[in-house]
């Protein structure tokens, strides 16, 4: 007797990098070898992977039930085009980017944009390139700062902009 395979919903992780989503069935990233803009080597495992640019995704319209785009919009030359592509290939999804506060304190030199979300719309501004302190160094070497940072993010959501969206154009912070 032949076993019937359940069709698994297609879930895309855009810019999957060194820490791909566990539930993603498909992974994509622009950089295969360079780790300059991520925290470690690319991790693919046993899932479908394609090298591509988020601004020109090689997928059909609504090919995915859900798409994750975590910490990728701030790297794009044209984040508005990237958003259009994300919403073209998936029916719903999750977008996460550092907030302006996070960019102000940590300021990653390779981020091209600070992402804002107000009244259901995304806005993009150029980051300020001045930092108060070398927060990356302090963060790495201070357990207390990491605990405070985590608590502030949990209570106030100050560290990351988190948006769940669906095809109706609604965004939920």
Q: How far is 135 from 27, CA to CA, in rounded Å?
A: 31
Render each residue's pLDDT in the chain as its tens digit; 173 residues.
Answer: 344 344 679 999 999 999 999 999 999 999 999 888 888 889 988 899 999 999 999 999 999 999 999 999 999 999 999 999 999 999 999 999 998 888 877 778 889 999 999 988 999 999 876 655 566 667 667 888 778 878 877 877 778 899 999 987 555 44
How much of the chain is in helix, strand and coil states, percent to nearest 5? 25, 25, 50
Q: What domains can you pick out in the chain, each with its CATH number?
A: 11-99+112-128+159-172 (3.40.50.150)
For residue 47, CA distances in Å to 29, 57, 60, 159 come to 13, 17, 19, 30
Neighbours of 135 (CB within 10 A): 17
């Amino acid at each position: 007797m032949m076993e019937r395979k359940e069709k698994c919903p297609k879930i895309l992780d855009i810019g999957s990098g060194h820490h791909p989503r566990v539930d993603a069935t498909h992974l994509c990233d622009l950089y295969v070898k360079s780790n300059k803009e991520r925290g470690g080597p690319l991790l693919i495992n046993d899932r479908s992977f394609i090298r591509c640019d988020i601004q020109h995704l090689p997928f059909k319209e609504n090919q995915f039930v859900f798409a994750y785009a975590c910490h990728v919009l701030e790297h794009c030359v044209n984040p508005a085009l990237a958003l259009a592509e994300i919403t073209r290939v998936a029916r719903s999804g999750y977008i996460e980017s550092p907030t302006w506060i996070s960019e102000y304190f940590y300021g990653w030199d390779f981020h091209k944009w600070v992402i804002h979300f107000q009244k259901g719309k995304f806005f993009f501004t150029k980051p300020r390139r001045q930092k108060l302190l070398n927060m990356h160094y302090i963060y790495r070497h201070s357990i207390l700062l990491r605990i405070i940072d985590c608590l502030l993010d949990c209570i106030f959501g100050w560290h990351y902009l988190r948006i769940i969206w669906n095809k109706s154009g609604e965004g939920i912070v």
